[in-house]
Structure 1
Amino acid sequence: MVMTDLLKAEEIKKALDAFAAETFDPKKFFDLVGMTAMSAESVKQVFRVLDVDGSGFIEEEELKFVLKGFSEDGRDLTDDETRVFLKAADKDGDGKIGIDEFEAMVHE
């Protein structure tokens, strides 16, 4: 499955363009790309696409490249952006984002 099976390509592009030179805000990005209106199960499908190694978690190293999971044109997150994103989503403090943590962040 690819991201455009789950989200509209034009919404992905619009969301990526919004953060091309701006500090990444995951909640605003999820809203722009249309994820906040999706069901919990659909958000979890997006998570599975982003979980490149299939571990069931998005670790810090995967998180750095999360925008490329939406489109190969996506930029890498800076180290600071990655840390802020991880801190915002990692509710149990284990240093990685689980599928339920991801879904909760999208819908909070």
Structure 2
Amino acid sequence: LCPAPDTFDFKKFFEMVGLKSKSNDDVKKVFTVLDADNSGFIEEEELKFVLKGFAKDGRDLTDNETKAFLKAADKDGDGKIGVDGKQ
């Protein structure tokens, strides 16, 4: 779950943690855990710690990994991820 820096693949990560097959309610629960400031969005600084939310020995994502993950998940280009993928 904790690959070497700059090797994180968010698609493989979603498959490994089973988010692809989870219900919307389960995905919202995970979203709530990652949304540390309860803003209703996962911002770049929260996304950096995503691995720590799934494994106690998880590492921080590198800046490059975080930006690539955010870009892939940020459907409206506002620099943050909404629970439904929208603003």
TM-score of the alignment, normalized to the shorter chain, above 0.5: yes
Residue in structure 2 matched with residue 10 of structure 1 by the alignment: none
Q: Which runs of 5+ in 2 are unaligned?
A: none
After TM superposition, the score normalised by the length of structure 2 is 0.89
Any idea what the Cα deviations from partners look like across 1:64-100, whole Å, max 9, x if unmatched?
A: 1111111221110000000000000001011001101
| Root-mean-square deviation over aligned CA pairs | 1.5
Structure with the larger helix share: 1
Tell me the CA shift for residue 34 of structure 1. Answer: 1.3
Q: What is the percentage of aligned positions where both structures have the same residue? A: 71
Residue by residue, what CA displacement relative to the aligned partner does 1:20-61 show, whole Å, maximum 9, x if unpaired?
226111121011111111111111111111111111111011
Give the corresponding residue for 1:71. Answer: 55
Aligned residues: 85
Per the alignment, residue 27 of structure 1 pairs with 11
TM-score, normalised via structure 1 length = 0.73
Please name the residue that 2:83 is paired with: 99
* Residues 1-108 of structure 1: pairs in structure 2 closer than 5 A: 16=1, 19-21=2-4, 23-101=7-85
